[in-house]
């Protein structure tokens, strides 16, 4: 064994270029993955690591839900969700009610978090707001005082360094919230684990304005005994969400089962698998060349009495050494890079926990790199074992491949039908189906990889009918089937992954789009005066000055006795399957026929007549009109109002400008009459998308507190990711294909001499290499198209089911094939690979002029 | 009709004079054997005759065309010259018939017609049955016959064979020689390099090379 390793080591040193290439191919993925793991572990503040900063010395954080009723929560989050349909209007909690539910002998310190708007020299900024008395020892460890003192009186605040960077100085008085309450900056504090946080801290009652919604009301609680998980669940039944120190330190068993944690683990396992797979498929052929180069040497060793097993050991030792060196170097470099890099990354706004190297995971990745190096060396080593010539053209029986493909497909069907067949019906299962579908597709991918040599040989046979320029490369490729099959398999795996993702993603997006109900026609903007009539004239003048020729149509708002704007929304009779409203769709517009025309995009005399008769014009087909009437809920955006406003109006249906548009237009006079509220103009609508929305909004805000809303339709934040996907596939496809083509060129050299003697020109040589590259890439991408298509379809089904929120499989699945992307992947990349291989080839050596004798 | 003419052809590789003032003509219907010790310039002679290499001085003409003036030597090789080497002469990924078709296809002949022509020539060399076999499924003699078929396909008149029997046993070598002889009798000019005197007997003429020069051919002539 020592002799074998020494031999491999010598060879590595002799062929430095090749060895470096292989090591890089193995080491790079290891580097990336271990850097990610280390960086993630460092950046990640685990609940345990973060317990001090989140609750100081308290035993628990208690957050009442918006409704008095049973709620459900994750053990590691105080966010609680109602059970059942949350159709009841929110009822604010009184602190005494909360206190009564907590164990006797406790002490509760009001503690609320949310966001607050602050007017700074540069305009309005939204900051993370914390309301708590930091002087209380219960808060020890939550924030550190850097400068000045902690807020001690009602109008005082402390801010973080990041806020100072926005232009605030210690001692300044800044207007906070939309009510522009004055607040004096008395101190600078730091969040120990989020150095870049934009935070503003005050005593309760200054920054946060919506305690009625529940999410902003909360307490730090000091209890005589630790708050156990059963205790948390008891409080849940009364409507309190609880984050308990004891539960964080010792989470209950269900913690790992609920939520997305297993999905995440499986997802990253799949990512690692893909990396290893690509390494094996790409580095394998490189080992093959080395092997061919060493054939003479191996023959000599064999002549000295080495058995085939010995020869295989020598080649494997190659993989062991290169894989080991590459993987260890990659792992170490990755860890170092991550540790050095994370403080810089944290500057960009991520949290920063204590430096932490997840050694077990990094070691696992290094081991994977090593294993993939050895795997990559195995194929050529096996080849050494059976170097019989006639075996080459035998296709073999594709049993393994077919079996794996069958298993993968069966698993896919089973997973999708799992609920129906086994009654898996649970959210945990649903959350996992898409990951499981991907896992099943991996089995299919493995099957196709196993099938690839057979496919290569088959297509070599089928090449008989091709014209010579194509036949030659295809035949040559299929003769060297290890090289060709592994490169084609690498392309296949990448193509399949990219297509599955693209199809799944596009289908999901299309589904979301179909479920989306816009509040206004696409491209409509609204200026909304926040304070009703008080500042409206100024806002309106500014808007008209800034938007000449837009054709702004005024809209009305309802005002209560204190001149607060009351906005109306339609009752939602659905819960999970509800179409989502975009924009301010839940705050219905109120106005005349001109406004209606804008929302309908045309004249609709019938609807206009109904509106003028005092009927609400409803666009949303999902809203139930009961007996010709509809009941609306009115609310004040910034605060709770003592008595809920309800208005019942006659209503008619009409079609809106866009099919995806919901909402309604309300008759102002009728709303006023029915509710007893005043109505006044405080909005402007227009069909216009401002070039710089943020700036316009800031200017309007400066003129007198106004919001700007623009209906952009359903956002597509992932569109760019398809291109990233395409780009990385491109790298792998071209890399793999061109490596294989280089090998082909090396093998082809001898036959090229014969070709030249027969009378082939340089063009044939180029055509040969271009054809090889094209064939490898095309074989891979077409196979990948099928695998990716199936996986994508399964993913689309799974995502549709998840979206519809039902346990059953959806009857119709939104299935979208991104054709441009598919064609680019399946045809474009092979063409590109062929082109590059054909253009960037060395000139063939001149025809042989020298023979052995 | 003279198919190959060499006039005071020399080829030097640095210091080495591989060929030194060689004059040679080969006419249609003639089989000329070239003999000589290793390193005497036999292969160089064949390479120059086929346009795979250019002479340092002197002229080479194939079918009356001065190769120095031919711009597309590859096309000339496809149409007029057929090569047979000792080894490494078949494309391993192509079947026998596809190997034979190759020069015709390179010349732009439609695959279907090229295949027919190739099958006809394979028939001539007695390999019709093995047309769809790959080179590594054929015996050495069969492979060499395929190479000869490829050198003959498309009515090529000049056949250059560099030790085509080198790797073959006697009986198979005889077969190959019979084929070349038959081809010469059918009107081709065949230039055959061999170092086995017994094959010289099949030739119309034997020239003897030593250190790049033709040694008096008549001596051998009389020796026959
Ligand atoms: N490409 C070349 N470069 C350098 N020397 C060459 C080359 N080809 C042939 N020679 C030299 O020319 C001489 C004749 O070679 P060759 O024609 O191959 O002889 P033969 O075929 O009779 O054995 C030899 O000395 C050989 O070394
Ligand atoms: Mg020679």
pLDDT-derived band at B38 (thresholds 50, 70, 90) equals confident
Q: Which comes out higher in pLDDT, residue A503 or A746? A: A503
The answer to whether B137 and B90 have CB atoms below 8 angstroms apart is no
Q: Which comes out higher in pLDDT, residue B11 or A118? A: B11
- CB contact (8 A) between residue B52 and residue A853: no
The answer to whether A186 and A134 have CB atoms below 8 angstroms apart is no
- pLDDT of res. A214: 43
Question: Count of alpha carbons within 13 Å of B79, Cβ hemisphere only?
Answer: 12
Record the pTM: 0.66
Which region holds residue A5: left if phi is over 0, alpha if psi is between -120 and 50, else beta? alpha
Nearest CA in chain A to B108: A468
Nearest to B147 by CA among B91, B203, B107, B199: B91
Cβ neighbours of residue A825 closer than 8 Å, sequence gap 6 or more:
A495, A498, A499, A726, A729, A781, A784, A785
pLDDT-derived band at A187 (thresholds 50, 70, 90) equals very high
- CB contact (8 A) between residue A759 and residue B107: yes
Q: Would you identify the CATH topology of the domain B2-88+156-219?
A: Rossmann fold (3.40.50)
- Structure letter (DSSP) for residue A484: H
Counting atoms of ligand 1 from 1, which one is nearest the CA of B11?
12
CA B22/CA A853 separation, integer angstroms: 20
Mutate to test the interface with B, among A390, A457, A758 (most CBs of B within 10 A): A758
Per the DSSP assignment, residues forming a β-bridge with A590 are: A556, A666
Average pLDDT over residues A227-245: 86
Over residues A34-43, the pLDDT tens digits come to: 777 777 777 6
- pLDDT of res. A34: 79
Q: Is B5 in the pocket of ligand 1 (CB under 6 A)?
A: no
Q: Which of A19-23, A51-55, A154-158, A425-429 has the lowest mean pLDDT?
A: A425-429
Percent of chain B with pLDDT over 90: 16
CA A608/CA A611 separation, integer angstroms: 5
Ligand nearest to the CA of A846: 1
- pLDDT of res. A831: 92
Closest C-alpha residue for ligand 1 atom 12: B18
Average pLDDT over residues A462-477: 86
B24 Cα to the center of ligand 1, angstroms? 19
pLDDT-derived band at A777 (thresholds 50, 70, 90) equals very high
Q: How many CB atoms lie within 10 A of CB A589?
A: 27
CA A109/CA A221 separation, integer angstroms: 6
Containing H/E element for A517? strand A516-517
Nearest CA in chain B to A748: B91
- CB contact (8 A) between residue B98 and residue A847: no
> Two tokens at A773?
């590259």
- CB contact (8 A) between residue B83 and residue A758: yes
Average pLDDT value over all residues in chain A: 78
Residue that the structure tokens 């001085």 belong to: B57
3-state SS, A415-446, equals: HHHHHHHHCCCCHHHHHHHHHHHHHHHHHHHH
- Does residue A78 have a pLDDT over 80? no
- pLDDT of res. A780: 92
Q: Is B200 in the pocket of ligand 1 (CB under 6 A)?
A: no
Q: DSSP per residue over B1-28, as a string?
A: -EEEEEEEEEEEETTEEEEEEEEEEEET
Counting atoms of ligand 1 from 1, which one is nearest the CA of B42?
22
- CB contact (8 A) between residue A852 and residue B91: no
- pLDDT of res. A634: 80
pLDDT-derived band at A809 (thresholds 50, 70, 90) equals low
Closest C-alpha residue for ligand 1 atom 21: B43
Q: How many CB atoms lie within 10 A of CB B149?
A: 27
The answer to whether A57 and A214 have CB atoms below 8 angstroms apart is no
CA A663/CA B187 separation, integer angstroms: 94
Q: Is B144 in the pocket of ligand 1 (CB under 6 A)?
A: no
User: In this complex, is the C-beta atom of A462 within 8 Å of any C-beta atom belonging to chain B?
Assistant: no
Residue that the structure tokens 């040694």 belong to: B215
Over residues A551-603, the pLDDT tens digits come to: 889 888 888 877 777 888 776 555 444 556 655 556 788 888 889 998 888 88
A180 Cα to the center of ligand 1, angstroms? 97
- Does residue A193 have a pLDDT over 80? no
Residue that the structure tokens 């045309």 belong to: A602
Q: How far is B93 from chain A (nearest CA, A)?
A: 5
| Residue-range domain boundaries for chain B | 2-88+156-219
Residue that the structure tokens 């109306």 belong to: A568
Residue that the structure tokens 């580097």 belong to: A31
Ligand nearest to the CA of B56: 1
User: Which 391-430 residues of chain A touch chain B by CB within 8 A?
Assistant: 392-393
The answer to whether A644 and A89 have CB atoms below 8 angstroms apart is yes
pLDDT-derived band at A778 (thresholds 50, 70, 90) equals very high
Strand order in the sheet with A240-244: A107-110, A219-222, A60-64, A240-244
Q: Is the dihedral of CA B138, B144, B148, B150 positive or negative?
A: positive
Average pLDDT value over all residues in chain B: 85
- Does residue B19 have a pLDDT over 80? yes
Q: Which comes out higher in pLDDT, residue A593 or A738? A: A593
Cβ neighbours of residue A363 closer than 8 Å, sequence gap 6 or more:
A331
- Contact list in B for residue A753 (CB cut-off 8 A) is 88
Average pLDDT over residues A757-778: 86
Distance of CA B129 to the CA centre of its chain: 25
Percent of chain A with pLDDT over 90: 6
Q: Is B48 in the pocket of ligand 1 (CB under 6 A)?
A: no
Radius of gyration of chain A (CA): 34
Over residues A384-418, the pLDDT tens digits come to: 554 444 444 555 668 888 899 999 999 888 887 76
- Does residue A422 have a pLDDT over 70? no
Nearest CA in chain A to B76: A759
Q: Which of A23-32, A102-111, A523-532, A822-831 has the lowest mean pLDDT?
A: A23-32
pLDDT-derived band at B10 (thresholds 50, 70, 90) equals very high
Q: Is A304 in the pocket of ligand 1 (CB under 6 A)?
A: no
The dihedrals phi and psi of A423, each to the nearest 5 degrees, come to 65, 45
Start-to-end CA span in chain A (Å) = 41
Radius of gyration of chain B (CA): 17
- pLDDT of res. A151: 92
Nearest CA in chain B to A853: B38
Q: Quote the longest CA-to-CA distance of chain A.
A: 112
Q: Is B186 in the pocket of ligand 1 (CB under 6 A)?
A: no
Q: Is B18 in the pocket of ligand 1 (CB under 6 A)?
A: yes
Average pLDDT over residues A256-271: 55
Q: Which of A215-229, A312-326, A563-577, A704-718 has the lowest mean pLDDT?
A: A563-577
The answer to whether A701 and A516 have CB atoms below 8 angstroms apart is no
CA A814/CA A511 separation, integer angstroms: 6
- Structure letter (DSSP) for residue A748: H
Average pLDDT over residues B152-170: 82
CA A716/CA A223 separation, integer angstroms: 47
- Does residue A784 have a pLDDT over 90? yes
Q: How far is A468 from chain B (nearest CA, A)?
A: 7
- Structure letter (DSSP) for residue B71: S
Residues of B with CB under 8 A from a CB of A: 38, 43-44, 47, 50, 52-53, 72, 74-79, 81, 83, 85-86, 88-95, 98, 101-103, 105-107, 111, 134, 136-137, 150, 162-163, 166, 195
Per the DSSP assignment, residues forming a β-bridge with A185 are: A157
Nearest to A451 by CA among A499, A383, A396, A374: A396
Q: Is beta strand A240-244 parallel, antiparallel or unpaired with respect to A181-190?
A: unpaired
- CB contact (8 A) between residue B74 and residue A468: no
Average pLDDT over residues A696-712: 76
- pLDDT of res. B9: 92
User: In this complex, is the C-beta atom of A755 within 8 Å of any C-beta atom belonging to chain B?
Assistant: yes
Q: Which comes out higher in pLDDT, residue A634 or B190? A: B190
- pLDDT of res. A283: 75
pLDDT-derived band at A290 (thresholds 50, 70, 90) equals low
- CB contact (8 A) between residue B74 and residue A761: yes
CA A425/CA A435 separation, integer angstroms: 16
CA B152/CA B81 separation, integer angstroms: 9
Q: How many CB atoms lie within 10 A of CB A509?
A: 20
> Two tokens at A278?
């690509």
Which of B44, B49, B166 for mutating ligand 1's site (highest number of atoms within 8 Å of CB)? B44
- Contact list in A for residue B162 (CB cut-off 8 A) is 851
- pLDDT of res. B32: 92
> Two tokens at A493?
């795996």
Q: Is B145 in the pocket of ligand 1 (CB under 6 A)?
A: no
- pLDDT of res. A185: 92
User: Coil, helix or strand for A721?
Assistant: helix
- pLDDT of res. A853: 42
> Two tokens at B199?
């094959």
Containing H/E element for A360? helix A359-385
- pLDDT of res. B202: 84
- pLDDT of res. A212: 42
Burial profile A525-560: b = 16 or more Cβ within 10 angstroms, e = fewer: bbbbbbbbeebbebbbebbeeebeebebbbbbbbbb
Average pLDDT over residues A442-467: 87
- Contact list in A for residue B161 (CB cut-off 8 A) is none
Cβ neighbours of residue B14 closer than 8 Å, sequence gap 6 or more:
none
Nearest CA in chain B to A388: B136
B146 Cα to the center of ligand 1, angstroms? 27
CA B87/CA B144 separation, integer angstroms: 8
Closest C-alpha residue for ligand 1 atom 26: B39
CA distance to A557, A573, A598, A663, B99, per residue, from A656 (Å): 21, 21, 9, 9, 71
- Does residue A779 have a pLDDT over 90? yes
- Contact list in B for residue A852 (CB cut-off 8 A) is 86
- Does residue B223 have a pLDDT over 60? no
Q: Is B39 in the pocket of ligand 1 (CB under 6 A)?
A: yes
Q: Is A853 in the pocket of ligand 1 (CB under 6 A)?
A: yes
Start-to-end CA span in chain B (Å) = 25
Question: Count of alpha carbons within 13 Å of A619, Cβ hemisphere only?
Answer: 28
Over residues A328-358, the pLDDT tens digits come to: 988 898 888 888 877 776 665 555 666 777 7
CA distance to A50, A57, A105, A222, A394, per residue, from A137 (Å): 18, 7, 17, 11, 79
CA B224/CA B218 separation, integer angstroms: 10
The answer to whether A596 and A607 have CB atoms below 8 angstroms apart is yes
How big is the A-B interface in CB pairs under 8 Å?
92
Average pLDDT over residues B159-176: 82
Containing H/E element for A527? strand A524-529
B39 Cα to the center of ligand 1, angstroms? 6
Q: Is B41 in the pocket of ligand 1 (CB under 6 A)?
A: yes
Percent of chain A with pLDDT over 70: 77
Q: Which comes out higher in pLDDT, residue A576 or B146? A: B146
- pLDDT of res. A384: 53
Q: Is the dihedral of CA A252, A257, A260, A264 positive or negative?
A: positive
- pLDDT of res. A265: 61
- CB contact (8 A) between residue B136 and residue A390: yes
Q: Is beta strand A664-667 parallel, antiparallel or unpaired with respect to A590-591?
A: parallel
- Does residue A166 have a pLDDT over 50? yes
Q: Which comes out higher in pLDDT, residue A795 or A15? A: A795
- pLDDT of res. A380: 63
Nearest to A493 by CA among A449, A451, A450, A459: A449
User: In this complex, is the C-beta atom of A760 within 8 Å of any C-beta atom belonging to chain B?
Assistant: yes
């Amino acid at each position: 064994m020592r002799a074998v390793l020494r031999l491999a080591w010598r060879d590595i040193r002799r062929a430095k270029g090749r060895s470096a290439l292989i090591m890089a191919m193995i080491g790079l993925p290891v580097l990336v993955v271990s850097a990610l793991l280390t960086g993630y572990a460092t950046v990640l503040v685990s609940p345990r690591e973060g317990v001090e900063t989140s609750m100081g010395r308290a035993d628990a954080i208690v957050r009442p839900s918006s409704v008095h009723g049973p709620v459900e929560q994750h053990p590691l989050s105080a966010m609680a969700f109602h059970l059942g349909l949350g159709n009841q209007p929110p009822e604010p909690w009184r602190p005494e009610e909360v206190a009564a539910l907590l164990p006797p002998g406790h002490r509760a310190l009001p503690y609320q978090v949310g966001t607050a708007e602050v007017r700074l020299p540069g305009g309005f900024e939204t900051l993370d707001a914390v309301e708590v008395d930091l002087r209380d020892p219960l808060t020890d460890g939550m924030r550190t005082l850097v400068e000045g003192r902690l807020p001690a009186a009602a109008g005082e605040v402390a801010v973080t360094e990041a806020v100072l960077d926005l232009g605030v100085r210690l001692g300044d008085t800044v207007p906070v919230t939309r009510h522009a309450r004055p607040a004096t900056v008395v101190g600078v504090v730091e969040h120990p684990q989020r150095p870049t946080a934009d935070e503003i801290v005050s005593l309760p009652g200054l920054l946060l304005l919506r305690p009625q919604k529940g999410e902003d009301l909360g307490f730090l609680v000091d209890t005589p005994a630790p708050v156990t998980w059963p205790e948390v669940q008891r409080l849940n039944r009364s409507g309190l969400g609880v984050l308990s120190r004891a539960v964080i330190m010792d989470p209950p068993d269900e913690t790992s089962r609920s939520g997305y944690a297993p999905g995440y683990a499986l997802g990253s396992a799949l990512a690692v698998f893909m990396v290893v797979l690509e390494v094996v498929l790409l580095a394998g052929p490189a080992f093959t060349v080395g092997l061919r180069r060493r054939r003479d040497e191996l023959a000599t060793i064999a002549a000295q009495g080495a058995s085939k097993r010995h020869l295989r050991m020598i080649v494997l030792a190659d993989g062991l050494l290169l894989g080991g060196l590459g993987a260890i170097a990659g792992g170490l470099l990755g860890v170092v890079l991550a540790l050095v890099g994370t403080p810089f990354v944290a500057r960009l706004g991520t949290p920063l926990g204590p430096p932490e190297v997840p050694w077990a995971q990094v070691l696992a990745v290094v081991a994977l790199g090593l294993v993939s190096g050895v795997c990559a060396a195995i194929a050529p080593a096996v080849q050494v074992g059976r170097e019989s010539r006639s075996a080459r053209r035998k296709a073999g029986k594709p049993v393994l491949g077919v079996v794996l493909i069958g298993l993968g497909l069966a698993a896919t069907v089973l997973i999708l039908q799992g609920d129906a067949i086994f009654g898996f019906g649970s959210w945990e299962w649903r959350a996992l189906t898409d990951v499981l579908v991907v896992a099943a597709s991996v089995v299919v991918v493995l099957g196709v990889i196993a099938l690839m040599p057979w496919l290569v040989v088959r297509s070599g046979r089928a090449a008989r009918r091709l014209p010579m320029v194509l036949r030659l490369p295809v035949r040559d490729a299929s003769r060297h089937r290890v090289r060709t099959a592994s490169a084609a398999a690498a392309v296949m795996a990448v193509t399949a992954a990219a297509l599955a993702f693209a199809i799944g993603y596009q289908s999901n997006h299309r589904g979301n789009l179909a479920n989306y109900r816009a509040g206004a026609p696409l491209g409509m903007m609204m200026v909304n005066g926040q304070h009703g009539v008080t500042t409206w004239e100024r806002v309106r003048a500014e808007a008209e000055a800034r938007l000449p020729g837009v054709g702004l149509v005024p809209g009305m708002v309802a005002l209560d006795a204190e001149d607060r704007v009351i906005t109306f929304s339609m009752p939602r009779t659905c819960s999970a399957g509800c179409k989502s409203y975009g924009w301010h769709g839940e705050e219905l517009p109120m106005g005349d026929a001109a406004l209606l025309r804008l929302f309908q995009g045309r004249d609709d005399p019938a609807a206009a007549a109904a509106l003028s008769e005092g009927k609400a014009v409803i666009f949303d087909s999902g809203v139930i009109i009961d007996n010709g009437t509809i009941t609306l809920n009115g609310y004040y955006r910034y605060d709770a109002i003592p008595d809920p406003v309800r208005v019942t109006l006659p209503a008619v249906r009409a079609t809106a400008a866009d099919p995806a548009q919901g909402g309604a237009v309300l008759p102002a006079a009728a709303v006023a009459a029915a509710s007893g509220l005043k109505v006044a103009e405080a909005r402007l609508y227009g069909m216009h998308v401002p070039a710089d929305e943020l700036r316009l909004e800031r200017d309007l805000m400066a003129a007198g507190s106004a919001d700007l809303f623009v209906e952009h339709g359903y956002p597509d934040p992932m569109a760019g990711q398809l291109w990233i996907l395409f780009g990385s596939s491109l790298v792998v496809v071209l890399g793999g294909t061109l490596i294989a083509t280089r090998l082909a060129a090396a093998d082809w050299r001898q036959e090229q001499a014969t070709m030249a003697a027969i009378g082939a020109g340089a063009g044939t040589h180029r055509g040969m290499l271009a054809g090889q590259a094209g064939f490898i890439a095309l074989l891979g991408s077409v196979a990948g198209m099928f695998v990716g298509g199936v996986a994508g379809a399964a993913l689309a089904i799974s995502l549709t089911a998840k979206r519809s929120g039902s346990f059953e499989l959806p009857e119709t699945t939104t299935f979208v094939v991104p054709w441009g992307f598919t064609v680019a992947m399946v045809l474009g990349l092979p063409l590109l690979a062929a082109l590059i291989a054909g253009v960037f080839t060395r000139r063939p050596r001149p025809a042989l002029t020298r023979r052995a004798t | 009709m003279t198919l190959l003419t060499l006039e005071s052809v020399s080829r030097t590789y640095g210091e080495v004079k591989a060929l030194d003032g060689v004059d040679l003509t080969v006419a249609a219907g003639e089989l000329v054997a070239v003999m000589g010790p290793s390193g005497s310039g036999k292969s160089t002679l064949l390479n120059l005759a086929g346009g795979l290499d250019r002479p340092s001085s002197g002229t080479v003409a194939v079918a009356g065309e001065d190769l120095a003036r031919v711009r597309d030597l590859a096309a000339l090789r496809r149409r007029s010259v057929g090569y047979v080497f000792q080894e490494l002469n078949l494309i391993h990924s192509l079947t026998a018939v596809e190997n034979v078709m190759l020069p015709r296809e390179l010349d732009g002949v439609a695959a279907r017609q090229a295949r027919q022509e190739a099958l006809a020539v394979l028939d001539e060399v007695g390999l019709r049955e093995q047309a769809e076999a790959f080179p590594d499924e054929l015996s050495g003699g069969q492979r060499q016959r395929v190479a000869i078929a490829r050198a003959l396909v498309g009515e090529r008149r000049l056949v250059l064979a560099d030790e085509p029997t080198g790797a073959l046993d006697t009986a198979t070598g005889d077969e190959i020689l019979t084929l070349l002889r038959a081809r010469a009798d059918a009107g081709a000019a065949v230039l055959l390099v061999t170092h086995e005197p017994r094959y010289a007997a099949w030739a119309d003429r034997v020239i003897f090379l030593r250190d790049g020069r033709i040694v008096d051919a008549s001596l051998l002539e009389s020796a026959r």
